[in-house]
Structure 1
């Protein structure tokens, strides 16, 4: 795929520089084939003598570990298609199900503007700027414009593809999810389907979620794994307890053999919320039965220290670690 600076097509093709904020001096990179922009901060400032900011596509992609450049054959809502293969006996070699993934352009367009990301601002307040920046890079935390201040937790799998993204809104002072006047949570694949329907395109999308943070497994094959329920907790715990690879199931139902197959042969510690200990004990048995060569254990640390107030609030490990 090739990129170029967007040709001049009037002042509407020039933007404010993300560094010096000067108006109508910034030229963005576009895909030569599709004309689609890269992320809003990928481009060159025309004020070379006073600013000189220039982020090329090559340097931008280098900041995205595990990122795979977009291929036209794999759209944001259609499955990737592999080249034609020799005929095989389907009874002996079943063809794998197609994998539906999110368009990488959608992902890259969210990896900036963190000053307007409530969750990131909360992390900076709690962990400091340097640790937060490392967490952003580790988990590819994005900023989404579906709601002002929203973040998106992208689900990268072990192949570097993005299965979907959970879009959520947090209070930047307390770090709590915004649930009033409604629960602010939606999904990237849901928005992709709606946009496709509006454009009259194919709206087929078969959701195949993976564990949040799964992409970290490949680089650390011998490191023990910790699983919590929420993405927020995994991010905070990874910064403060680096002895594990921290993953999130997203929900109790998300802790299932299908998603945990990538953990085969590893040591896995489950860290349930304080009121979910017994349920996660049952889950650990289910997972061990499905993956007999994988060691699953359940931490009772919250059970040992939780107060009645903690139980009423339903705390998790992220609420107590590091304070």
Structure 2
């Protein structure tokens, strides 16, 4: 998934100063962003006041969109470094291509996990013959310094662990939840789960006390610890919890995201996660002039050009905007 902002911000994230060291309830609405030629998304991380949840550093929620007679998602080849992309569909299909030669159609309930490591390029598109609806989430996980230069890789997992209890069906996308572990490769302790709540759901979900957590509502109304969460919004919950109290009168679907607070500071610009402005600038130069990212074959169109660098040097800036 690409950040297609024409003038992307330089964002400094990470470090324990960004972490609420106790339970909180901070509700963030999504910011509408145009993705590619035709898909609008709600960007929930980074946002004003919240830049990471564990190692999760970027969240886009899109749909549900009626794409009958429309091209659907069309994201041309673009580069990444220093992160993992996590693709999660609720409705529809997305065709993934990358510079490793991967070609994979992703469907609801399947994990598409791409580790950029030192460098990778990929594209995402709705197949020509695609379902009527498109709905899902695209997320990034920042790689810790010890692993951010690993070889790039792509994983597709169609059989994920599922927990069922008391009007809840929880699919573990990444990390671990209540003893169930995703097969997706993770480089920091974290959790990502899809929570499907039946009508009249009222339950307590055990969570890791040392993690910080957030809940994204993808459809339906729900309450977390008594706080209403509407579709397209993110409720940040801080740390220090052993369980989450979840209720939904009419049924809903949520994504639970969390992890150990990310102790390192990172610099995000466009589709790159690095540690210094110099590293980001070098990655941009490589995409424009070099061969480090390789070539994505088969996409019917040109690749994305990197936007211009800011007029001032890329460097860590203040945590508040």
- The TM-score range, normalised by the shorter chain, is under 0.3
TM-score after normalising by structure 2:
0.24
**Higher Rg:** 1
TM-score after normalising by structure 1:
0.24
Higher relative contact order (CA 8 A, sep 6+): 2
The structure where strand makes up a greater share of residues is 2
The structure where helix makes up a greater share of residues is 1
